[in-house]
Amino acid sequence: MGVPKRKVSKMRLRTRKAANRWHAPSLGKCQSCGAPIHAHTACSSCGFYRDRQVLDISVA
């Protein structure tokens, strides 16, 4: 069975775990309506993506 050769220090352990820590999603702003949106995603309030209408909001 594999056994660790030496103890992992607190700093090393915390540094490793810090890479997987949750962080709030960075939200951009819609160019047409100004609502907060995720990057590379069509705006859910006006349906625009890169100055173009891609979603039909009026039906829903």
Q: Name the minimum Å distance from CB 30 to Zn ion.
A: 3
At 20, the amino acid letter reads N
At 47, the amino acid letter reads G
Q: Name the minimum Å distance from CB 42 to Zn ion.
A: 9
Cβ atoms of 43 and 33 within 8 Å: the answer is yes
Q: Name the minimum Å distance from CB 37 to Zn ion.
A: 7
Residues 1 to 60 in contact with Zn ion, rule: CB under 5 A: 30, 32-33, 35, 43, 45-46
Q: Is 11 exposed, middle or buried (0-12, 13-18, 19+ CB in 10 A)?
A: exposed
Give me the residues that bind Zn ion (CB under 5 A), please: 30, 32-33, 35, 43, 45-46
